[in-house]
């Protein structure tokens, strides 16, 4: 079982925590992580791009000149694709890019990223984060004490407005809940800060 230090909000070690092997100690599966990441990004696409075909652009109802004896190439409409202002041939139309990935793959991908965070020492476990008021300075001080720099994801077991709103104006810092985490955020943010309650909930959900 992987062991990590548990720090308090002042950055001092208060204990050690044993993490479950099946959640935080598996062999990361890069292929599955990549597959789930591509699925997530595809599902975020709006698919609203659209071009007009020759039947949708205005004009072009009349043949521009007669078929023969003009010395020019025959034309049926000034809205054909090769004309300026004409329609687009085989252009994109609104569509959905969404597709599903097996639930087991999603779970494996999240466990793989969590395990890689432990291996690369990018996981910070805090005994608890409690703010009496919404104040950005409180969160800045906490992250400074924990020696966390760069892009940071703070994973919470449940909604906490004082923490979430204290972190929302800090560049490169995001808060998320256990039930809404995704592979994209786990990969995008280098550091992962979690509380002991978050550890328990992750182990309940993914073990």
Reading the block at residue 175, the tokens are 């808060």
What predicted TM-score, i.e. pTM, was given to this entire model?
0.84
Q: Where are the domains of the chain?
A: 3-45+99-206, 47-96
pLDDT at residue 44, rounded to an integer: 96
Banded pLDDT at 102 (limits 50, 70, 90) = very high
Collapsing DSSP to helix, strand or coil, 161 comes out as: helix
CA distance 115 to 40: 20
DSSP letter assigned to residue 10: T
Reading the block at residue 165, the tokens are 């709103």
Collapsing DSSP to helix, strand or coil, 142 comes out as: helix
Instruction: Let me know: does 60 contact 76? Beta carbons within 8 Å.
Output: no
3-45+99-206 folds as Ribosomal Protein L4; Chain: A; (3.40.1370)
Chain segment 136-173, per-residue pLDDT in tens = 999 999 999 999 989 999 999 999 999 999 999 999 99
Instruction: Let me know: does 49 contact 185? Beta carbons within 8 Å.
Output: no
What is the CA 114 to chain-centroid distance, rounded?
A: 15
pLDDT at residue 2, rounded to an integer: 84
């Amino acid at each position: 079982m992987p062991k990590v230090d548990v720090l308090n909000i002042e950055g001092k070690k208060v204990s050690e925590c044993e993490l479950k092997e099946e959640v935080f100690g598996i062999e990361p599966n890069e292929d599955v992580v990549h597959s789930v990441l591509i699925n997530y990004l595809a599902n975020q696409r709006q698919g609203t791009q659209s071009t007009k075909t020759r039947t949708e652009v205005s004009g072009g109802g009349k043949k521009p000149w007669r078929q023969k004896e003009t010395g020019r190439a025959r034309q049926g409409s000034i809205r054909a694709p090769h004309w300026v202002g004409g329609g687009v041939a085989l252009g994109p139309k609104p569509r959905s890019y969404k597709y599903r990935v097996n639930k087991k793959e999603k779970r494996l991908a999240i466990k793989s990223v969590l395990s890689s965070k432990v291996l690369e020492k990018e996981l910070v476990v805090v005994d608890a984060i409690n703010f009496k008021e919404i104040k950005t300075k409180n969160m800045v001080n906490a992250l400074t004490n924990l020696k966390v720099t760069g892009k940071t994801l703070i994973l919470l077991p449940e909604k906490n407005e004082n923490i979430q709103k204290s972190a929302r104006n800090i560049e490169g810092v995001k808060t998320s809940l256990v039930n809404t985490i995704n592979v994209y955020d786990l990969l995008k943010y280098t550091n992962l800060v979690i509380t002991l309650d978050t550890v328990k909930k992750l182990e309940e959900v993914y073990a």
